[in-house]
Amino acid sequence: MSVKDEINKLKKEIERHNFLYHSENNPEISDAEYDALYQRLKSLESDQVVSEDSPTKTVGAKPSKGFEKHTHLKPMLSLSNVFNDEEFNKFEERILKRIQVDKVIYAVELKFDGIGISLTYEEGILTKAVTRGDGEIGEVVTENIKTISKIPHKITFNAPKIIELRGEIFFNLDDFDSINQSLQKSGGKAFINPRNAAAGTLRNLDIDIVRQRPLNIFLYALGGCSDDFNITSHQDFIAFLEKNNLPNNELVTFGDATSASNAVKKILDSRDKLNYEIDGAVVKVNDINLQEKLGFVSKAPRWAVAWKFPASEKFSKVNDILFSVGRTGIVTPYATIEPVLISGANISNVTLHNLDELKRLDIKVNDTVLVKRAGDVIPQITKVNFDARDGSENPVKVPEFCPSCGNKLKEEGPFLRCDAGMKCPAQLFGYFEHFVSRKAMNIDGLGYKINTHLINLGYVKKVADLFKLKQHESELKNLEGFGEKSIDNLFASIDDARKPKLETFINALGIPEVGETTASSLARHFKEFEKLRSATFEDLMQLDSIGNVVAKNIIEFFINDPVGIDELLDQIEIENFVASADSHLDGVRIVITGSFSEFSRDELKDIIKSKGGVPSSSVSSNTNYLLYGEKAGSKYKKAVELGVELVDETKIKDFLKI
């Protein structure tokens, strides 16, 4: 391939990834892979006249041309989630309490895993179909929607002056398969899943392509409407849809909370029999008066909830097994797999943890594997399908040398480790990323790309170099893609970070297994950094929250000094720990869960810390209190099981004395 051809190919590819990342929110490749493509393009362009349309000349996705924007009469909202009966019961309790009734009738529907759409009918005529967009403003895709023959262009039964009908666009599974087959036949790339295919088709600018693909639709909710539209229940709304031949789904049931919960279970059982994907059920209060009384909280209605189904498992194929080096030098195997959509996330990389896990699974490159993801937990490979082996599988090549710096690796139990410390670019990168992160030194204006530059250009060889970046000011301002202003902001943020609080600094050090909570306890106990640095094992073991392993990690960290602490201390001035006048929460361990109308969780954490409390991330028998807000989930459940004292939002101010 000529250089020009390769440049053109890369331009197209990068533009596609820009679009997937910025407009679709659905990246197919990791940042590192994107960066490699970008760097390759830049290096090829360095000997050429660069055309103005090159992605190296534009930042982010080009605004997608072609579709007009439209502001929805009423915003398109999202739904809060429940995952089980207990959480659903709490949803119902909140409703009963708010509207002071003892029973409510719900509608239970399927939750379609497609793309939201809003159809506008004015005086009975379909005038607009608009995508969800950011919820307030979407894109007008009327022509594409009109390819769906079952959508009536005119409605006559009780048609108001104006009405927005909300629904979901999707593909039937068999249609999705045929689309992919014909794409592959013609040398195109198959869609990863039906949802992506629907998104790509709905927003396709080529109407001929859209016509070839049988999009489908179900309508399920009312958006904005004029005063002449009068219905009193969701059931009425469905009748309105039916009388007008507007496409709705027939699997709707009505009943009290118990029958709603049973209906959800039935839907879950029949999920695999459907010819389209669903990711749960939606439970809605039937009575529209009650819906109005209940209203909304942030961006979701109080009168409806998405009952999400447990993560499904899906088979995929292992493309490769690679090894990545973390900030502490541990070299972790991971599989790159054919992307699969599992509970809303596109999975293409799965960690394999350590060498023992490789043996336990007996996994090989090219194997078919079962991938699982439960809630927000990281994806796992649960088993290899040995029956699918056909001899094309290759054993894992466990590296002898560090994939980042070439240093000879050591085996430590089930782990592989590179002990080159900050001389290893991958460790320096990981460490630097942690050091500057929001909960550590909180430097604005750094990210994957600029960090890579800083390290590759040799401006950052150890973390202390962060504070010496000013000497490279002119080079940084000339870096492609980083404006003068953003570099000035970066310097301002670095200067702001020169006086870190002791607990922030300890957290930023990234001592293995010393996170925010332990850093806070250490700061409270030792008050000055030098006291912590010179603490003995016994001194450390005085703290309740510190066990053998953490104490050993701290001691080793200061002996080995992988960071170059003295050089760092030359650049900054650590604020000693000062107990605040109000320390009524001294040493009290508090977990925060759910969302609060008056505070963000970070605000609550700061208040707790300022009063001597220790905000912790997980509930254990050591937890003293749980502060919980709306949508409190598993932490609440665990706290109840362990008998931890509970504080709800109405009591928070008293509890914190604010």
Which of the residues are catalytic?
111
Our finding on whether 77 is near ligand IVH (CB under 6 A) is yes
β-strand pairing of 380-384 with 368-372: antiparallel
Q: Least distance in Å: CB of 256 to ligand IVH?
A: 19
Q: How far apart are CA 606 and CA 614, in angstroms?
A: 10
Residue nearest ligand IVH, Cβ-based: 116
Q: Least distance in Å: CB of 296 to ligand IVH?
A: 8
Q: Least distance in Å: CB of 80 to ligand IVH?
A: 9
Q: Least distance in Å: CB of 300 to ligand IVH?
A: 7
Site for ligand IVH in 151-180 (CB under 6 A): 166, 168
Contact range with ligand IVH by CB under 6 A, out of 104-112, 121-129, 157-165, 339-347: 104-112
Q: How far apart are CA 359 and CA 364, in angstroms?
A: 10
156 with 116: CB under 8 angstroms? no
**Closest CB to ligand IVH among residues 220, 636:** 220
Instruction: Name the E strands within 264-311.
Output: 278-285, 296-297, 300-301, 304-308
Our finding on whether 129 is near ligand IVH (CB under 6 A) is no
Type of residue found at 519: A
Q: Least distance in Å: CB of 306 to ligand IVH?
A: 5
- Sequence length of the chain is 658
Q: How far apart are CA 573 and CA 576, in angstroms?
A: 9
**Closest CB to ligand IVH among residues 79, 466:** 79
**Closest CB to ligand IVH among residues 221, 321:** 221
Contacts from 372-380 at CB under 8 Å and sequence distance 24+? 372/311, 372/313, 372/342, 373/311, 373/342, 373/343, 373/345, 373/347, 374/310, 374/311, 374/343, 375/83, 375/311, 375/343, 378/351, 379/342, 379/345, 379/347, 379/350, 379/351, 380/350, 380/351
Q: Least distance in Å: CB of 341 to ligand IVH?
A: 15
Contact range with ligand IVH by CB under 6 A, out of 299-307, 364-372, 502-510, 549-557: 299-307
Q: What is the b/e burial string over 491-524, where b = at least 16 CB atoms within 10 angstroms of the residue's CB? A: eebbeebeebbbbbbbbbbbbeebebbbbbbbbb
Contact range with ligand IVH by CB under 6 A, out of 72-80, 195-203, 396-404, 650-658: 72-80
Among 87, 92, 109, 465, interactor with ligand IVH by CB under 6 A: 109
**Closest CB to ligand IVH among residues 279, 367:** 279
Q: How far apart are CA 368 and CA 316, in angstroms?
A: 6
Our finding on whether 112 is near ligand IVH (CB under 6 A) is yes
For residues 29 to 68, the per-residue mask of contacts with ligand IVH, x marking binding by CB under 6 A and - elsewhere, is ----------------------------------------
**Closest CB to ligand IVH among residues 220, 599:** 220
Among 119, 145, 257, 304, interactor with ligand IVH by CB under 6 A: 304
Q: Least distance in Å: CB of 110 to ligand IVH?
A: 6
Q: Least distance in Å: CB of 248 to ligand IVH?
A: 10
**Closest CB to ligand IVH among residues 220, 323:** 220
Q: How far apart are CA 601 and CA 284, in angstroms?
A: 28
**Closest CB to ligand IVH among residues 344, 406:** 344
Q: How far apart are CA 109 and CA 95, in angstroms?
A: 19
Q: Least distance in Å: CB of 112 to ligand IVH?
A: 4
> What residues contact residue 44 under an 8 Å CB cut-off, 6+ apart?
3, 6, 7, 10
**Closest CB to ligand IVH among residues 72, 524:** 72
Among 10, 108, 260, 282, interactor with ligand IVH by CB under 6 A: 282
Contact range with ligand IVH by CB under 6 A, out of 111-119, 154-162, 365-373, 382-390: 111-119
Q: How far apart are CA 152 and CA 140, in angstroms?
A: 17
Our finding on whether 363 is near ligand IVH (CB under 6 A) is no
Q: Is the Cα torsion angle 452, 453, 458, 459 positive or negative in sign?
A: negative
The Cβ-side half-sphere exposure at 592, using a 13 Å CA radius, reads 20
Our finding on whether 381 is near ligand IVH (CB under 6 A) is no
138 with 288: CB under 8 angstroms? no
**What is the size of the binding site for ligand IVH (CB under 6 A)?**
15
Q: Least distance in Å: CB of 362 to ligand IVH?
A: 39
Among 220, 240, 577, 599, interactor with ligand IVH by CB under 6 A: 220
Taking phi over 0 as left and psi of -120 to 50 as alpha, with beta for the rest, 210 belongs to alpha
Question: Using CB atoms within 10 A of its CB, is residue 352 exposed (0-12), middle (13-18) or buried (19+)?
Answer: buried
Contact range with ligand IVH by CB under 6 A, out of 77-85, 204-212, 266-274, 473-481: 77-85
Among 11, 111, 128, 611, interactor with ligand IVH by CB under 6 A: 111
646 with 639: CB under 8 angstroms? yes
Token duo for residue 126: 């379909």
What's the alpha-carbon Rg for the chain, to the nearest Å? Answer: 28
Q: In DSSP terms, which residues pair with 125 in a beta bridge?
A: 122, 154
Q: How far apart are CA 337 and CA 342, in angstroms?
A: 13
**Closest CB to ligand IVH among residues 263, 522:** 263
**Closest CB to ligand IVH among residues 20, 306:** 306
Q: How far apart are CA 486 and CA 471, in angstroms?
A: 16
**Closest CB to ligand IVH among residues 251, 370:** 251
Q: Least distance in Å: CB of 164 to ligand IVH?
A: 11
Contact range with ligand IVH by CB under 6 A, out of 54-62, 74-82, 87-95, 576-584: 74-82
Token duo for residue 472: 């490279």
Among 78, 172, 259, 324, interactor with ligand IVH by CB under 6 A: 78
Our finding on whether 139 is near ligand IVH (CB under 6 A) is no
Among 305, 306, 463, 632, interactor with ligand IVH by CB under 6 A: 306
Q: How many CB atoms lie within 10 A of CB 143?
A: 12
Angle at 213 between CA 209 and CA 218, to 5 degrees: 130
Our finding on whether 221 is near ligand IVH (CB under 6 A) is yes
What DSSP designation does 233 have? B
Our finding on whether 301 is near ligand IVH (CB under 6 A) is yes
Residues that bind ligand IVH (CB under 6 A): 77-79, 109, 111-112, 116, 166, 168, 220-221, 282, 301, 304, 306
